[in-house]
Structure 1
Amino acid sequence: METSLKNKKILITAGPTREYIDPVRFISNESSGKMGYEIAEALHKMGADVILVSGPVSIKSTLPNHKTIKVVTGNEMLLECQKHFNSIDIAIFCAAVADYKPKITSGIKIKKIENNVTLELQKNVDIALEFGKLKTANQISVGFALETNNVLENSIGKLKKKNFDLVVMNSPNLNKGFGYDTNKIAIVHTDLSLHHFPLKSKKEVAIDIISLIKINVKTKQRIGKVKINTTI
C-alpha cells in the first residue's frame, strides 16, 4: 500500500533572500521560488499540513494564505523555521538563502562618491545545517544542491554535513533550473544511491521528489517497527 503524507507536518522553504546593503540595495540571487511552491502546492493537495516559508517572489499561489509565511532575509527565514523544528515530520529546504550578507547595513542610502568601494561580507545563516543538528531519527530532511561543477561530490558533502536524508541535485544550465518552468534533477540518498530524472516541468519534478520522500518515510516506518528479541 502506498505511503500517505496526509496530515504529515511538512516545512518547505522557497525563493531567494535579500541581504540589504542599504535601504535600496541588496545581495540576492536568481531563484524564482517556483520549485518550492510546486512542492508545497502538491503536498497540500495530498492532504499534508504544509508550512511554506517564502522569500520575496512573484508567484500566484493556490495555497491558503495562512499556509504561507513571507520573509525577506535569511535570518528572518531561520527564525520562522525554528518555530517548527520540533514539531515537523519533514523539512524540505528548497530556498536559495544568500550565502553571505553585508557585515554592516547602512541605515541611509550610500552615496556615489568614490570610484571604488569595498563591501565586507560575513557568512549568512545555514537553516538546513541548524535543523540537521536537532533532527530526530523520525524526522526527514531534504536539501537542494545547485552546483556548477563537481555536482555529485559537493552534494554528498552537503548530505553528510547537514544530516540530510535526500539531496536534490541540479545545475543552472540553459532552459532549466533558476527562473524557468522546467528542471532536470538527480537525487542522492544517504546510502549514496542515485536516481536520475529527465528534463520535466517543475510541477512534474515536484511529484518525483515527493515520490522519493514517500519511499524514505516508508523505510523509516519499517525500521521503527523492528523489535529486537532479547529473549535468551
Structure 2
Amino acid sequence: MLQGKNILITAGPTKEAIDPVRYISNHSSGKMGYAIADVCLQNGANVTLVSGPVCISLLHEHLKLVQVQSANEMYLACCRYFEEADIVVFAAAVADYRPAVIANQKIKKNDEDFFIRMVKNIDIAYEFGQIKQPHQLSVGFALETNNELQHAIGKLEKKNFDMVVLNSMNDAQAGFGFDTNKISIIRNDQTRVEFDLKPKSEVAIDIVNEAASLHQAKENFVKSLI
C-alpha cells in the first residue's frame, strides 16, 4: 500500500546550542524513526528522513536524508518537503525550549550559580497540523511518564494527528536508548490498539501497517467525494 508514496519522517533528538561548545539535548537515539523509515523503504515508498544528530546509518536509493541539528533547522527542512508528503511521521524528540541567547564565546566557570533563560521552540507537529490537507496522514508520538493516555489524546487533538504512538517511560526496556519498545496506537476516533514489548524493527512494522491502512481509508474517502 506504500508503493510510490512519499513519506516524510523526523527522527532523533535536536541540539540547542548554549555556546560554541555546549548544548541542550535529550536521550533520543533515533532508532524508532530510522526503523520506521527502513520499513517504509522496504515497502516501496520514497522516504525523506529529516534527522537530528544520531549514530545510525541508513542507505537506500529511494531515501533522501536531511541532517539537522536544532529544532529550527528541523522545521525549515520539513517545510521544504511537507507539501509533497502523503504520510508524515513525527518521530523526532524535538527540544521544547532553546537558550534565548547563544554565547559567541565559551562561557567561563565563575559563579556558584548559572542561569540560562529559555524560550519556546516552534512546535513542528502543531504547525503542520494546521495546514495538513485531507489526503495527508500524520503520525505523532507521545513518550510520557504520567497520565499517559490523557496526554496522548491531548496531543492527538491539539496537533491534528490521525494517530498517536504512545509509550511510557514506566515500561521496562522501552523508550530512549533501548532496542525494544512497547506501544499503544491511538487513532483519531480514540480507538486504541495495544502491543507487547518487541524489537523496534518489529514495532516499526506495526506502526507502518496501521498508518498505511488509515491512509488507504482516507484516500478512499477523499475519492468518494470527487
Please confirm whether the aligned pair reaches a TM-score higher than 0.5, indicating the same fold.
Answer: yes
Residue 67 of structure 1 aligns to a residue in which SS? strand
Checking the alignment, whether the CA contact within 8 Å between 2:16 and 2:25 is kept in structure 1 is yes
1:43 aligned onto 2:40: yes
Residue 91 of structure 1 aligns to a residue in which SS? strand
- Look up the match of 2:213: 215
Structure 1 residue ranges (4+ consecutive) displaced by more than 4 angstroms after TM superposition: none
Residue 141 of structure 1 aligns to a residue in which SS? strand
Q: Provide the C-alpha distance between the structure 2 equivalents of 1:141 and 1:111, rounded to a whole number of angstroms.
A: 44
95-104 or 167-176, larger mean C-alpha shift: 167-176
- Quickly say closer, same or farther: Cα 1:9–1:65, change in 2 above 3 A: closer
Would you say how many aligned residue pairs link Structure 1 and Structure 2?
Answer: 225
Q: Provide the C-alpha distance between the structure 1 equivalents of 2:130 and 2:223, rounded to a whole number of angstroms.
A: 24
Checking the alignment, whether the CA contact within 8 Å between 2:47 and 2:63 is kept in structure 1 is no
Q: Provide the C-alpha distance between the structure 1 equivalents of 2:63 and 2:194, rounded to a whole number of angstroms.
A: 35
- CA apart distance, 1:63: 3.5
- CA apart distance, 1:217: 1.3
Identical aligned residues as a percent: 52
What TM-score results when the alignment is normalised by the length of structure 1? Answer: 0.94
Q: Which runs of 5+ in 1 are unaligned?
A: none
- CA apart distance, 1:169: 0.2
- Look up the match of 2:154: 157
Give the alignment's Cα RMSD to 1 decimal. Answer: 1.4
- Quickly say closer, same or farther: Cα 1:125–1:64, change in 2 above 3 A: farther
Residue 81 of structure 2 aligns to a residue in which SS? coil
Q: Provide the C-alpha distance between the structure 2 equivalents of 1:160 and 1:73, rounded to a whole number of angstroms.
A: 26
Checking the alignment, whether the CA contact within 8 Å between 1:41 and 1:62 is kept in structure 2 is no
Residue 40 of structure 1 aligns to a residue in which SS? helix
66-75 or 94-103, larger mean C-alpha shift: 66-75
Residue 175 of structure 2 aligns to a residue in which SS? coil
Q: Provide the C-alpha distance between the structure 2 equivalents of 1:226 and 1:65, rounded to a whole number of angstroms.
A: 31
Amino acid at match of 1:26: Y
- Quickly say closer, same or farther: Cα 1:172–1:83, change in 2 above 3 A: same
Checking the alignment, whether the CA contact within 8 Å between 1:42 and 1:207 is kept in structure 2 is yes
- Look up the match of 1:69: 66
Q: Provide the C-alpha distance between the structure 2 equivalents of 1:21 and 1:215, rounded to a whole number of angstroms.
A: 43
What TM-score results when the alignment is normalised by the length of structure 2? Answer: 0.96
Q: Which runs of 5+ in 2 are unaligned?
A: none
Q: Provide the C-alpha distance between the structure 1 equivalents of 2:94 and 2:219, rounded to a whole number of angstroms.
A: 31
Q: Provide the C-alpha distance between the structure 1 equivalents of 2:25 and 2:130, rounded to a whole number of angstroms.
A: 26
- CA apart distance, 1:171: 1.6
Residue 145 of structure 1 aligns to a residue in which SS? strand
Aligned pair partner of 2:190 in 179, 189, 192:
192
Amino acid at match of 1:218: Q
> Quick check: which has more Rg, 1 or 2?
1
- CA apart distance, 1:64: 4.7
